[in-house]
Amino acid sequence: MDAHTLNSAYEIVRQPLGQILPRLSAVLGPLIPHRAAAELATHCAHSPYKSVGESAVPSAAELTPLLASGTPGSPWQGTAVVHGEEREVVAVTSDATARRSVLVLVREDGTAPVPDEVLAVAQALWDLVTSHFDRFAVEAMPGALARSRAAADTRARVIAELTTAHSSALSGILGVLRSRALDDTSARTTATDLAVNALIQMRSESKRDRSLAGEPAHEAFERLADGLRTMLRHSPVRLELGPPATPRTLAADVAHGARAIVRALLLVVLEQESVGRVHISWQVTEHELRATLRDDGPGTLADCDMGAGSIIDRLEVLGGRLEIDAVPGWGTTITATLPLATPDAPVAAVDPLTGLGGRELEVLTHLALGHRNRQIAAALHISESTVKFHVANILTKLGVASRGEAAALFHRAA
């Protein structure tokens, strides 16, 4: 690798994380002219997919098969589907991370093949970039770690909610299609209506969830009941409902969370054999909402049947709890309890490092490793006086008196 390529590599990795792909695209532009570039780095929970370019930008779904079929160390050039059209692309796969990553460059149609020596440069630069990314994941600097955890938690919550909503809709449709009381034409018509209603409901939920206002408890329960009636319209299971007897207004997150939890619990209950009846009720007290599901099934449900992503984790986020009372041969009673007041614990548990800037976190990382100012300056390519400035700011923001205390705080947060 010549001096120019090495200097280009240095310019790429010294960029902030969000600017690395644009810089890499700019460096590769003269060697491999392209209209757009995209990456899929599977180790990154914060933002695994990134792209640059104004047109013909491949989506994450379109990158996935290229990642799966790519061979690390052997860049591939050919045609791939981008926005429904066949496009000339170069795909560079790296195994510098445990689960691999891929860089895709979308080229103009009819361009000449890229020479092997140029592909080798692209491979070397992509390996370097992914190794650089992996260092942040492995070392888990607190700022990046906090962002990744927040993004991963949000993604898991959204996936769990969508899964529950889709499962509810599909269960209703399957109930129609399996029903012996409907002929083919009626079943198709009813299944279509259920699907349309499910889409309308999901869009309505999205609009409502953007509002921070609360809603009366009986209205919140009725919205839940409407969805459950639709879901079980053609099911042999009899649905009994017990609405809350209070005019009290619930906070939007509590009402939405309670509905999502009940729907997820009902899906678990319906997976049992020989369930003929399910009673669902809400009871609102001064301090909490108790959502209860009682079935006449085999009475064998346990905590492990609940599923962490859709139920347990959501309850923990809301500060709630789940209780299961199963009596073999008689049925199961499940109670999800949600506090109506906002928990204070999350506010008190704010990460003390979140107030630091990106460069300050880098300096603090080196402080935690016992590095002196000269070593830090050399590693970050800044002057010692700049390091001293950052150290002073770090001590002030963290409210500590020494580098040792700052390092100890770093290790506790990490």
For residue 142, what pLDDT is reported?
Answer: 45
Sign of the alpha-carbon dihedral angle for 63, 67, 68, 74 = positive
Higher model confidence: residue 6 or residue 327? 327
Q: Is the pLDDT of residue 402 over 90?
A: no
For residue 337, what pLDDT is reported?
Answer: 93
Rounded to 10 degrees, the C-alpha dihedral 152/158/159/163 comes to: 160
Specify whether the CB–CB gap between 358 and 143 falls below 8 A: yes
For residue 143, what pLDDT is reported?
Answer: 46
For residue 203, what pLDDT is reported?
Answer: 59
Specify whether the CB–CB gap between 198 and 169 falls below 8 A: yes
Of 305, 308, 326, residue with least CA distance to 317: 308
- Written as six digits, the tokens of 405 are 């205390």
CA distances (Å), 344 to each of 319, 358, 413, in order?
A: 10, 28, 20
**Mean pLDDT (whole number) for 291-309:** 81
State residue 252 phi and psi, 5-degree precision. Answer: -60, -40
Which residue type occupies 62?
E
- Written as six digits, the tokens of 276 are 């003929």
The model carries a pTM of: 0.41
Name the DSSP letter for residue 209.
H
Q: Is the pLDDT of residue 157 over 70?
A: no
State residue 342 phi and psi, 5-degree precision. Answer: -70, 125
Q: Which residue reads 């209205």 in tokens? A: 219
CA distance 80 to 106: 9
Higher model confidence: residue 297 or residue 110? 297
CA distance 320 to 313: 10
Specify whether the CB–CB gap between 204 and 237 falls below 8 A: no
Higher model confidence: residue 138 or residue 163? 163
Pairing of β 277-284 and β 238-242: parallel
- Written as six digits, the tokens of 10 are 């240095």
CA distance 403 to 15: 27
**Mean pLDDT (whole number) for 349-367:** 77
Confidence class for position 346, pLDDT limits 50, 70, 90: very low
Residue-wise pLDDT tens digits, 197-237: 766 666 555 544 444 456 889 999 998 999 899 888 888 99
Pairing of β 76-82 and β 321-327: unpaired
Higher model confidence: residue 290 or residue 301? 290
Higher model confidence: residue 278 or residue 140? 278
Rg (alpha carbons) of the chain, rounded to whole number:
28
Q: Is the pLDDT of residue 145 over 60?
A: no
**% of the chain beyond a pLDDT of 70:** 78
Name the DSSP letter for residue 98.
T
**Mean pLDDT (whole number) for 340-354:** 55
**Mean pLDDT (whole number) for 169-175:** 72
Confidence class for position 292, pLDDT limits 50, 70, 90: very high
**Mean pLDDT (whole number) for 349-354:** 62
| Neighbouring C-alpha atoms within 13 Å toward the C-beta of 237 | 29
| Neighbouring C-alpha atoms within 13 Å toward the C-beta of 122 | 30
Sign of the alpha-carbon dihedral angle for 280, 283, 289, 290 = negative
For residue 392, what pLDDT is reported?
Answer: 86
For residue 211, what pLDDT is reported?
Answer: 44
For residue 26, what pLDDT is reported?
Answer: 92
Which residue type occupies 355?
G
Confidence class for position 298, pLDDT limits 50, 70, 90: very high
- DSSP letter string, 151-175: HHHHHHHHHHHHHHHHHHHHHHHHH
For the ranges 249-253, 265-269, 273-277, the lowest mean pLDDT is seen at 249-253
For the ranges 33-47, 79-93, 334-348, the lowest mean pLDDT is seen at 334-348
* Contacts with 387 (C-beta within 8 Å, 6 or more apart), sequence order: 363, 373, 376, 377, 380
CA distances (Å), 349 to each of 99, 344, 413, in order?
A: 32, 9, 11
For residue 149, what pLDDT is reported?
Answer: 46
Higher model confidence: residue 314 or residue 1? 314
**Mean pLDDT (whole number) for 168-182:** 72
Q: Is the pLDDT of residue 317 over 50?
A: yes
Question: What is the overall mean pLDDT for the chain?
Answer: 80
Higher model confidence: residue 137 or residue 203? 203
Q: Is the pLDDT of residue 160 over 90?
A: no
Q: Is the pLDDT of residue 158 over 60?
A: no
Q: Helix (H, G, I), strand (E, B), or coil: what is residue 107?
A: coil
Torsion-angle region of 179 (φ positive above 0: left; ψ -120 to 50: alpha; else: beta): beta
For residue 60, what pLDDT is reported?
Answer: 80
Confidence class for position 147, pLDDT limits 50, 70, 90: very low
CA distance 157 to 322: 18
